[in-house]
Chains A and B, each alone.
Chain A
Amino acid sequence: MSKEKFDYFIKGEKGKYEVVIGLEVHAQVLSKSKLFSGSSTKFGADPNNQVSLIDSAFPGMLPVINEECIKQAVRTGHGLNAKINNYSVFDRKNYFYADLPQGYQISQYKNPIVGEGKVLLDMPYGSKEIGIERLHLEQDAGKSIHDMDPSNTYVDLNRSGIALMEIVSKPDLRSPDEVNAYIKKLRSIMRYLGTCDGNMQEGSLRADVNVSVRKEGDTNFGTRCEIKNVNSIKFMQMAIEYEAARQVELIENGKKIDQETRLFDTKKNETRSMRSKEDAHDYRYFPDPDLLPLKLEQKLIDDLKKSLPELPDKKKERFVKEYGLNAYEANVLVSEKEISDYYEEVAKLSDKKLAATWMMGDLFAMLNDRGLDISKSPISAKHFAELVQAIKSGEISGRIAKEVFEIMVESGDNPKKIIESKGMKQQSDPKELEKMINEILSKNKDKVDQYKAGKEKLFGFFVGQVMKLSGGKANPQLTNEILKKLLKG
């Protein structure tokens, strides 16, 4: 991998500006039931069908912590190489909204369950560490539906009370590309851990983006704006680009940046002021008296650490060492747990390096075209390994392999069967090939003479003829050798 230089700056008339970004990622905890109630968390149920008396805040209802959500947060904390706090407190964040039944959100304020940690990013200019400030647990709100009726708003409380992990980064990110890599890395870690499905379309992963700018070389941070609730990486990147440019323009025109909360309008591709610092909510945080402080025994924390699966960074190291892959290949193949599992299954049965090349080439292209996850791949890992082996052993050529691959996708058949039934086996018998080549040379004596007179470009013509005659099955390497030998003679 060639090392590039980091180069993301906003160019103003008065100089270059560095963009400083911090993310507050809201990741929905994978759990069967909600953070403080027994209601199901399944996505896509009819409105208000997964709502308990607690989620809808009926009089006298009390929250009871869901142990599994706590464990998921601890696992995620370990995945972020973070400090797990033995003592944490649930607080009430008070504000009124129609989809917030309690009139407060139970969250963690001063004492979060997870403290400082770090995430490693692989950037074209080298690896970069992003600091994690904290991770805390909180309840999700319900959903207000404004477009079902011209004059009324409807409320769906299915989401109300579902556990979220808010993962707060330090202001260590410097470009939309780094944000992209960071979100993908977080998502990958959580999917490996099984603590969040990372499904951005369903809202399982969304982020508030804090953006500020400063002159290149400045050490003090500029005034930041927070862009609320952005739910795709693309929108995050667009919002950052817009917001950074807006801030630079303000500075260049001698204007002040107001610390405020902004919204990203995805249709107009711009951020708009939502509320200023003066109008900021006073959430009146205080410890929730319905819940005792959460005390975690060190043994539980340690046991959860021991039971963690292998995470992407470790797996990447192992792929380089064990399979002889380069850093780039290893990085791609560990990005999703399902991809790495598929690769390892293929690599067990075939050439490790060739398997990586073919997976990252044809297989990924095909999946991408069809919009499929690797778990839905029409080609099983076992069949794919057979194909790789067929190439490696010289049974088929690369070109034929592509044809076989296409047929595998359509039919789901194993490659052996396809190669045999369609007679696609590579011709690798030197005697047979020599015979064929001699035939071609004798038919094209004029061209042979020209070649011998120095027109070496004609070599390609002869190869083409061999392929044509063999139906593409001639072993290319052998063909080259024999052609060279015979043309010399």
Chain B
Amino acid sequence: MANITNQSLNEIIDNVKTKKVSSTELTKAYIKNIESAKKLNAFVTTTFDQALDKAKQFDIKPNFDQLLPGIPLAVKDLFCTKNTKTTAGSNILNNFIPSYESTVTKNLWDNGSFLLGKLNCDEFAMGSSNETSHYGNVINPVGDQLVPGGSSGGSSSALAADLTPATIGTDTGGSIRQPASFTGTVGLKPTYGLCSRWGIVAFASSLDQAGPMTKTIKDCAIMLESMSGFDEKDSTSINKKKEQYSKNLKDNIKGLKIGIPKEYRVDNMPKEVDELWGKGKKILKDLGAQLIDISLPHTKYALPTYYIVAPAEASSNLARYDGVRYGYRSKQGKDLIEMYEKTRSEGFGDEVKRRILIGTYVLSSGYYDAFYLKAQKVRQLIKKDFDDSFKKIDAILTPSTPSSAFKIGEKTNDPVSMYLNDIFTVPVNLAGLPALSMPAGVDKQGHPLGLQLIGKALDEQKILNIGYAFEKNCGFKNEIKKWWS
């Protein structure tokens, strides 16, 4: 076998099961890839010794009935991993080693996989380019000047560069789907409550949701099945029977009704994005789906709503990083207040500070009604738009992002233009719905572009099926030259 890592997770699992490759061989191959890809800066921490140990244990006593038998996986550094440093991309957690394992990663390990390392991300998942990480930019394997998207930028980069066979990210306003779109990979944000939030460093609790990032739709189904499930430790977790997404994957979408929202055609959107959307519609139509024009009238309010709700929750969620019990504490400061001020000034980066300030402002007395309360009301209207539409359709097709990957540094001085990158992804988080970004083509420069499928709550199987059918018929192949090694 020439290259055992240049394959889908599903193929790799088959290779392990049929003993074409051992877990140890697989792990060593990924370690080699990771060591020669330092330029990408996708990893904050590697756990090679521990991974090789686990691989060896698996090879001695393999269990091939598991969903992820002997599979090494790197995960976003927002998931708390027991005895392995977890930074959330922030200086304030530069020395934080959890004594506990997040529910989602525990689920992955319980299904036979083990940790390969922790992936870089925007600080506290606040960013769309991975440029806010305290641990440096991540480079998109698509091109050495390009951002990998964010906040799960280390995840998308590592996946596209074959540094992990699949991975997981978190998506608060597009942090899985946008980087997936920028790297030509698949990313799914599940229904809010499908994956437990327990043990994931919180950004905005009512929006945060963990999800898979993979090379193929089938891989996505396998990963979703492995990581999801009810958790009594998360009060917002949905108590329902576990589904077998990969087993139930079907590529027949005949008769399904696909909604095309007119509000997703925005000003200044590159022609290629529009054309790609058209291509997507045609493929689904040719497969027997019915296209239906719909309207989601409150879409234009989604971005401002999101940038009130998310910072508000973040300003409160990040109050615990005060230097008192764990994490970074400034050596200076004469009293408690000064210690707080110095610790948080030195511990947080600019984007995090910006959002804490915005969040604190919109919750302040005298502003609460005008901002936070109003945003919550608008959020209900956005949700209602979707609910109304889903009475007559099965799924919605939109572009994932208004552009392909941009250059490093291009938007760092203009936060608003950076925020605009989330325009197609945030409404889904506000409504708590599942959405999939799937690679669909490239723009003029050859940079990947993705399309987004939005489903009804808990309709993951259906959007995976549509994505599966689409994938087989779209003819896209993510060709990435290994320029970095």
Report the bound CA distance from A350 to B147 in whole Å.
90
Q: Interface code B312-323, partner A: CB below 8 Å = 1, 0 otherwise?
A: 110110111010
A182–B216 Cα distance when bound, in Å, is 68
The CA of A285 and the CA of B197, in the complex, are separated in Å by 23
Complex contact A94–B316 (CB within 8 A): yes
| Chain A residues, CB < 8 A from B197 | 60, 62
A96 within 8 A of B: yes
Distance in angstroms between the alpha carbons of A153 and B340 in the assembled complex: 14
What 6 additional pairs, Cβ within 8 angstroms, besides A57-B320, A103-B322? A57-B325, A62-B233, A101-B324, A103-B319, A104-B316, A289-B204
Q: Are B316 and A98 in contact (CB under 8 A)?
A: no
> Given A59-B80, A60-B200, A284-B316, are A292 and B205 also a contact pair (CB < 8 Å)?
no
What residues of chain A lie closer than 8 Å to B230, measured between beta carbons? none
Q: How far is the CB of A219 from chain B (nearest CB, A)?
A: 29
Q: Counting CB contacts under 8 A, is B453 at the interface? A: no
List the A side residues contacting B340 at CB < 8 Å: 96
Q: A56 within 8 Å of B by Cβ?
A: yes
**B2 on interface, CB distance cutoff 8 Å:** no
Contact status A64-B235, CB under 8 Å: yes
Are A62 and B235 closer than 8 Å at their CB atoms?
yes
Q: How far apart sit A61 and B96, CA to CA, in the bound complex (Å)?
A: 14
Question: CB distance A290 to B363 under 8 Å?
Answer: no
B93 an interface residue at 8 Å Cβ cutoff? yes
Complex Cα gap A97–B322 (Å): 9
CB distance from A175 to the nearest CB of B (A): 34
Residue of B98, B324, B360 touching A58 (CB-CB under 8 A): B98
Q: Which of A59, A155, A290 contacts B205 (CB 8 A)?
A: A290
Q: Are B324 and A60 in contact (CB under 8 A)?
A: no
Report whether A289 and B206 are in contact in the complex, using a CB–CB cutoff of 8 Å.
Answer: yes
Bound CA span A94–B93, Å: 21
Contact B198 A98, beta carbon cutoff 8 Å: no
Q: 25 A-B residue contacts at CB 8 Å?
A: A56-B325, A58-B326, A59-B96, A59-B202, A59-B320, A60-B197, A62-B197, A62-B234, A64-B233, A64-B235, A96-B322, A103-B319, A104-B316, A155-B324, A284-B315, A285-B363, A286-B316, A286-B372, A289-B204, A289-B205, A289-B206, A289-B313, A290-B235, A291-B236, A292-B235
Interface string of B300-342 (1 = CB under 8 A from A): 0000000000001101101110101110000000001000100
- Contact B363–A286 (Cβ < 8 Å): yes
CB distance from A60 to the nearest CB of B (A): 4
Residues of A within 8 A of B201 (CB): 59-60
Interface string of A279-299 (1 = CB under 8 A from B): 000101110011110000000
Chain A residues whose CB sits within 8 angstroms of the CB of B364 once the complex forms: 282, 284
Q: Number of B residues whose C-beta is below 8 Å from A?
A: 42
Instruction: For residue B365, give the distance in angstroms from its CB to the closest CB of chain A.
Output: 5
Q: Which residues of B contact A (CB under 8 A)?
A: 80, 86, 88, 93, 96, 98-100, 102, 197-202, 204-206, 232-236, 312-313, 315-316, 318-320, 322, 324-326, 336, 340, 360, 363-365, 368, 372
Given contacts A65-B235, A282-B365, A290-B205, contact A60 B199 (CB under 8 A): yes
Whether A60 contacts B319 by the Cβ 8 Å rule is: no
Asked if A153 meets B233 with Cβ closer than 8 Å, knowing A59-B201, A102-B320, A284-B364, the reply is no
**How many angstroms from the CA of A105 to the CA of B322 in the assembled complex?**
15
Q: How far is the CB of B207 from chain A (nearest CB, A)?
A: 8
Bound together, the chains give a CA A102 to CA B320 distance in angstroms of 5
Query: For residue A283, which residue of chain B has the nearest CB?
Result: B365
Tell me, yes or no, whether A224 is within 8 Å of chain B by CB. no
* CB-based contact A284/B88 at 8 Å: no
Shortest 4 CB-CB distances between A and B: which pairs? A103-B319, A289-B205, A289-B206, A284-B363
Q: How large is the interface on A (under 10, 10 to 19, 20 to 34, 35 or more residues)?
A: 20 to 34
The secondary-structure label for the interface of chain A is loop
CB closest residue in chain A, given B198:
A62
Contacts of B86 in A (CB 8 A): 59
Within 8 A of B (CB), among A41-70: 53, 56-65
Contact across chains for B322 and A58 when beta carbons are under 8 A apart: no
Known: A94-B363, A289-B206. A102 touches B319 (CB 8 A): yes
Interface string of A137-163 (1 = CB under 8 A from B): 000000000000000010100000000
- Assembled-state Cα–Cα distance A57/B318 (Å): 10
Residues of B within 8 A of A64 (CB): 232-235
Give Cα A59–Cα B81 distance, bound, in whole angstroms. Answer: 11
Q: Which residues of B contact A65 (CB under 8 A)?
A: 235
Residue from A65, A155, A289, A292 having most chain B Cβ neighbours under 10 A: A289
Q: Which A-chain residue is minimally distant from B335 (CB atoms)? A: A153
Assembly CA distance A152 to B72 (angstroms): 46
A61-104 interface with B by 8 A CB criterion: 61-65, 92, 94, 96-98, 101-104
Give the docked Cα–Cα distance between A136 and B86 (Å).
36
Query: Which among A101, A103, A285 has the greatest number of chain B C-beta atoms within 10 A?
Result: A103
> Which residue on chain B has the smallest CB distance to residue A64?
B235
Structural contact, A284 and B360, CB atoms closer than 8 A: yes
Residues A101 and B98 in contact, CB atoms below 8 Å apart: no
A59-B88, A62-B233 known; A103+B363 contact, CB < 8 A: no
Contact A92 B365 (CB under 8 A): no
CB proximity of A101 to chain B, nearest CB, Å: 6
Q: Complex Cα distance A292/B205, Å? A: 11
Output the least CB separation between B317 and chain A (Å). 9
Q: Which A residues lie within 8 Å of B205 (CB)?
A: 289-290
Provide the bound-state CA to CA distance between A53 and B98, in Å: 10
Chain A, 377-416, contact with B by CB distance < 8 Å: what is the 0/1 string? 0000000000000000000000000000000000000000
| Cβ–Cβ < 8 Å partners of A60 in chain B | 80, 98, 102, 197-202
* A103 pairs with B235, CB closer than 8 A: no
Chain B residues with CB under 8 Å of A98's CB are: 322, 324, 336
Q: Whole-angstrom distance between the alpha carbons of A291 and B236 in the complex?
A: 7
With known contacts A284-B363, A286-B372, A104–B319 Cβ distance under 8 A: yes
Residues of B within 8 A of A101 (CB): 320, 324-325
B235 touches A63 (CB 8 A): yes
Q: Which residues of A contact B316 (CB under 8 A)?
A: 92, 94, 103-104, 284, 286
Candidate in A60, A155, A285 with the most chain B CB atoms within 10 angstroms: A60
**Residues of B contacting A94 in the complex (Cβ-Cβ under 8 angstroms):** 315-316, 319, 363
Chain B residues whose CB sits within 8 angstroms of the CB of A58 once the complex forms: 98, 100, 325-326
Q: Which residues of chain B are near A103, meaning CB under 8 Å?
A: 316, 318-320, 322
* Residues from chain A with Cβ under 8 Å of B204 in the complex: 289
